[in-house]
Structure 1
C-alpha cells in the first residue's frame, strides 16, 4: 500500500524585529528580507546607519530555522527550499501580510515612504510577495539577489514611474554567474519603474558604505 500525504492547517506565531517604535516623526518604513542562513535580529544591524526617529526598520525572518554548525550553537533561517515550495510561498505571504499591515495601521504609517530591501535568498521571497500582494511601493533595493524565473515584467506593471528599484551587486560576488546579471539587466529595462544597477568592490555581503550612499540618494537621512 502506498503512503499518502495529507495536510493539516495550524496557527503559529512568527517573530519580526524593529528598531523601536513609530512616531509622528517617522518618515520611512523599511521592510528587510535577510539572506540564507541569517537571522533577522542580526541582519537588521546593517541599518543602524539610519536615524531611527525618521526611519522605522522592520526585519522579517524566514519561517524555517536550522543549525549552521556541528556544535549546534549557531542558528540561521531560510525562506524556503524546493520541497513543497508552493506551500512555503503561501505561508510566506500570510506572514509578510500580517507584518506589513500591522506596521501600516500603526500611527501615521499611511503617509510614510514604503521601502523594501532584500538580500540574497530574501530577494526571491520579496519579489514573489510583491507580485502577489501588489502593495504601495516607493522604493525597492535588491542586493546580491536573483529574480524568480517564473516572474515576468508584466507581473510588476503596478510599479509606476515614480517607484525606484535599485539592484546592487558586488564585483567579486561568488554567485555572480549563478545570478545571471544579463537576464536581470533585461528584466529591469522592461519594467515601467525607475531602475538602476549599482556595483561595489566586494563580495556577497551588504556593504554599509554603499548602502548609505543608496539611502542618501533615495532619501535624505
Structure 2
C-alpha cells in the first residue's frame, strides 16, 4: 500500500469582535480549546474589548459531534486543532491557516499584519496551537516583535518546542500562564513543571491562578489582556 498526500481546499470560519472596519492598533488571535467552536469561545472576550482592539477567533478545521461516555451530547458540535496522526502536516496546515486568518482580518481592518500590535491567546488545546503559529509562521517571524503579549490558559507550550532556541521572542512576548486551582488538565503539578521548564530555559513569565476548574474567568481574562505596550 502506498500513502500519498494532496493539498485540499477547505472552507473555514472565524469570529471577530471589535472594529472590523478599523481603525485598529491591536489584534489578538485567540485559539479555542478542544471540542469548542469559535462562536461560543468568542463570547468570553466581550469584556476585553476596547477602542482600537480587534479580537479574532479562528475555528479549528476538524469538526466532530461531541461525546461523553461514548454517547453523543445531543447535537453539540466541537472542533479540534489536530491529533497525533500525520501531525507534521497538520501543524503546517494550521500555521498556514492562522496566517490566512490573520492577514484577512488585518486587511478588512486596514491594519499592517507585519506592524500592528499582536497578542496571542490560547485555551487548553489552543495553547500549543497559538505558540506553534508564533514559532513557525514565516509571516510572524518577519515581524519586529512576534507578539507583544502571549496568554496561555489551562494549557502549556508544545512539549517538543525547544524553549532555549525560542527564548528570545518568548521573552519579548510578555508571557502569562493562567489556570484554575482545580483545573483537571492544567493541574498545579503540571503548571509547576511548566514553570520549571521555562525557568531552566531562561524564559520570563508571569503565573496567575484563580478559584475554579478548566474554564475561562472573564474578568481575569480582561485583566491579562490589558493594552499591549
1:182 Cα shift? 2.6
Task: Identify which of 199, 213, 216 aligns with 2:223.
Answer: 213
* Residue matched to 1:46: 44
Quote the Cα distance in structure 2 between the aligned partners of 1:68 and 1:151. 29
Verify the 8 A CA contact 1:119 1:144 in the aligned structure 2.
yes
Task: Identify which of 116, 124, 128 aligns with 2:128.
Answer: 124
Task: Identify which of 101, 107, 111 aligns with 1:108.
Answer: 111
1:162 Cα shift? 4.2
Q: Gapped runs of 5+ residues in structure 2? A: none
Q: Gapped runs of 5+ residues in structure 1? A: none
1:87 Cα shift? 1.4
Taking the TM superposition and a 5 Å limit, the aligned residue runs for 1:89-100 are: 89-100=91-102
After alignment, is 134-143 or 180-189 more displaced?
180-189
Quote the Cα distance in structure 1 between the aligned partners of 2:82 and 2:33. 11
After alignment, is 67-76 or 204-213 more displaced?
67-76
- Paired positions, count: 216
Closer, same or farther: CA 22–109 of 1 in aligned 2, 3 Å: farther
Verify the 8 A CA contact 2:164 2:202 in the aligned structure 1.
no
Q: Does 1:137 align with 2:137?
A: no
Quote the Cα distance in structure 1 between the aligned partners of 2:154 and 2:173. 20
User: 1:6 aligns to what SS in structure 2?
Assistant: coil
* Residue matched to 1:170: 180
Q: Deviations over 1:83-131 (max 9, x none)?
A: 1111111110110111122234441345542101100001111112221
Closer, same or farther: CA 34–81 of 1 in aligned 2, 3 Å: same
TM value normalised by structure 1:
0.87
1:219 Cα shift? 5.1
1:61 Cα shift? 1.2
* Residue matched to 1:187: 197
1:6 Cα shift? 2.0
Question: Cα RMSD between the aligned structures?
Answer: 2.4
* Residue matched to 1:87: 89
